[in-house]
Amino acid sequence: MIDRSERIDVPKGKWDRCEGCGHMLFHRELQENLFTCPKCDHHRRINARTRIEQLCDPESFEEFLKDLVPTDPLKFKDRVPYSERIKAQQDKTGETEAVVVGKAYIRGRPVILAVMNPAFIMASMGSVVGEKITSAIERATDEALPFVMVAASGGARMQEGMVSLMQMARTSAALARFDDAGGLYIVVCTDPTTAGVAASFASLGDLILAEPKAMVGFAGPRVIANTVKQELPEGFQSSEFMLEHGFVDRIVSRTDLRKEIGRIIDYCGK
Amino acid sequence: MNNSTSTGTAMASASAASYLEFEKPLYRIHLEIEQLERDQLDGGRDFSKDLKDLRQRLKQMTKRLYSHLTAWETVLVARHPQRPLSPHYLGTMVRDFCEIHGDRLYGDDKAIITGFGRIGPHKVIVIGHNKGRDTSERIACNFGCAHPEGYRKALRAMKMAEKFGLPVVCLIDTQGAYPGIGAEERGISSAIAVNLREMSRLKTPIVCCVIGEGGSGGALGIGVGDRVAMFEHSFYSVISPEGCAAILWRTGEQRKLAAESLKLTAKDLMRLNIIDSVIKEPMGGAHRDPMATAASLEKYFTDSLRDLKRYKVDTLLRKRYERIRGLGSFFEKASENAKEPVESKPRSPSASDSKISVKSGSRSMTGMKRSSQPAS
């Protein structure tokens, strides 16, 4: 589980430095460019609300299951109690959990949308995240709407132990029913889409899109390097790597995402 | 397949290596017994009464030690070098095992064995991780850490089971999926994810058992079904205790505490409603009596399959969905008038147990009672 969430916060100042090339940009310019660098195309991590604002038609997002909050099913013993970790994240982000789900319109097309929030414990998947995603899929099945998932996650939430692992099964089972019902499922892999989330719903899209240079993979690169005792190839576990090996359909720049999703829905959606 | 190498009885040839760290008191008695036996042979004196007493003490102490293993001790027993592996069960519990190889896409992963077989009156497809017994076998099957082709071979076997109306039986025993370059290149995430989805809708009964180590996604990749059981001294965890300790405490030293915190034992997971049954092991662990262990497992599978075969496919799938839907369902609804969605104070047990979950009625402790009492 990687926690580099502090990188997501956008500084308040007027100027901003691109994390990719170090280029100095006006904050407003960066914002207008959807937090991608006009010079090097580096895609900065963004929180769920910013993503929803960028992706959905104005004012069209209608959130559900906003009031679900995590419990501490394991009474997890850690240096910091799990409930305190959660509280700190809630205070920091203003969110109750690491995913936001709801109904929205993307270029006039109605969808059920789930957006994972890398600012919240690196969008690790616990019971509430699994519940919200599973419910969203069931809703998409009932309402016969396309399901769009903007995935980002460091993986399972360790502090919920096996409870978190079971979310992989729950979400995948709901997707099986959605698939049986003929639903269209579009995944957008963003930085980082890894571990338990990669090995469940993020890999089950009818179409899998990915933002450029996002980290997409299963095992942690350090774990792999320790196991194989050799240097990892350049660009290993990136969107481009996954495209090359046939596990991603298209790499789509954030600025084209709305257009691309709309286009796919027109081809496949009912 | 040839499994003569994997069915050795551990207890008969107990040596220092077969005793775990926490079993030192047992090993001391074991040494005393050996010494007396030698003296008896050499000196011709009769120590039979002392020997009887010592053996009795060994038995009692084993029972006492194993009646309340800590989580970390459970991990050690589950990883015991002589613990029975899948090939043992394929050679004893399964009759007439007919192995099938390959995923028809890339290769044949020896970390997962698949094939036809008979368990009790049932013709089945068996899928099981293999960690390997000796060094060469372990290397050949990557210590039970499967690549994508392993999961795809398992899926191919499951689809065949569906086609020919055979139930599927899965034996889980892995540290996790193989963390390597090839595994990523060939889509390990995708392979596991597809198995989760397909197992949830496979039109034939699926019964799984964690026989040793249940390592995260690598275990779950063949671990979704109508019933999931665990052996008494096996464990199932989202991350290894060592890995968890390294991340949270930045040192592997806290692995005992991590093992405790992760709630990875069969008893804990039964309480969390994540598994359906706990299968008892012979006194002192499966490795002390592999044949009795296999008999218990056979009874569990025979009984479960008999129950599940009664359902029509639609009912089976509906019940399976309800079961999966209810797994690990723990959350609260923030009260509408409260400003803070969650209290930071530790909650009382009753409050945090407020669990909203869909449960199928069949989940109970019955498996614990049902499983046969192995001979000690």
Cα dihedral B266→A170→A51→B238 (10° resolution): 20
Which residue among A174, A199, A232 places its CB closest to the CB of B193? Answer: A199
DSSP-based three-state secondary structure for A266: helix
Q: Please give the pLDDT value at position A208.
A: 98
A-chain residues within 8 Å CB-CB of B263? 74, 161-162
Q: Is A106 on the interface with B (CB under 8 A)?
A: no
**Chain B nearest-CA residue for A218:** B189
- Is B238's CB within 8 Å of A161's CB? yes
Q: Which amino acid is at A139?
A: R
- Is A71's CB within 8 Å of B180's CB? no
- Is A217's CB within 8 Å of B189's CB? yes
**Confidence at A152, pLDDT banded by 50, 70, 90:** very high
Per-residue pLDDT tens digits for B210-236: 999 999 999 999 999 999 999 999 999
DSSP-based three-state secondary structure for A267: helix
Q: How many CB pairs under 8 A join A and B?
A: 221
User: Whole-prediction pTM value?
Assistant: 0.89
Q: Is the pLDDT of residue B179 over 80?
A: yes
- For the record, the structure tokens of B316 come out as 């089976």
- Is A169's CB within 8 Å of B327's CB? yes
Q: What is the ipTM of this complex?
A: 0.94
Nearest CA to B200 out of A188, A137, A151 is that of A137
Q: Please give the pLDDT value at position B367.
A: 37
Q: Where are the domains of chain B?
A: 3-68, 77-327
- Is A217's CB within 8 Å of B327's CB? no
B-chain residues within 8 Å CB-CB of A201? 193
Q: Is B332 on the interface with A (CB under 8 A)?
A: yes
Residue from B145, B174, B196 to probe the interface with A (highest A Cβ count within 10 Å): B196
CA distance A52 to chain B (A): 22
**Confidence at B43, pLDDT banded by 50, 70, 90:** confident
The fold for domain A45-268 equals: 2-enoyl-CoA Hydratase; Chain A, domain 1 (3.90.226)
Please give the CATH number for the structural domain made up of B77-327.
3.90.226.10
Where residue B287 falls (left for φ over 0; alpha for ψ -120 to 50; beta otherwise) is: alpha
Q: Please give the pLDDT value at position B236.
A: 98
- The strand ranges marked E within chain A are 15-17, 24-26, 62-64, 68-70, 99-106, 109-116, 147-153, 185-194, 207-210, 216-217, 250-251
- For the record, the structure tokens of A184 come out as 């269209």
CA distance A164 to chain B (A): 7
Sorted by sequence, the CB contacts under 8 Å of residue B123 that are 6+ apart come out as B116, B117, B166
- Considering only residues A42 and B369, tell me which one the structure prediction assigns the higher pLDDT: A42
| Measured distance CA(A133)–CA(A175) in Å, rounded | 10
Please provide the average confidence, as pLDDT, over all residues in chain A.
93
| Measured distance CA(B153)–CA(B89) in Å, rounded | 20
Beta strands A109-116 and A24-26, pairing class: unpaired
CA atoms within 13 A of residue A249's CA, in its CB half-sphere: 15
Q: Is the pLDDT of residue B7 over 90?
A: no
B-chain residues within 8 Å CB-CB of A99? none
Sorted by sequence, the CB contacts under 8 Å of residue B204 that are 6+ apart come out as B161, B162, B165, B166, B167, B168, B313
Q: Please give the pLDDT value at position A256.
A: 97
Q: Where are the domains of chain A?
A: 45-268
Q: Is B269 on the interface with A (CB under 8 A)?
A: yes
Q: Is B271 on the interface with A (CB under 8 A)?
A: no
Q: Please give the pLDDT value at position B44.
A: 78
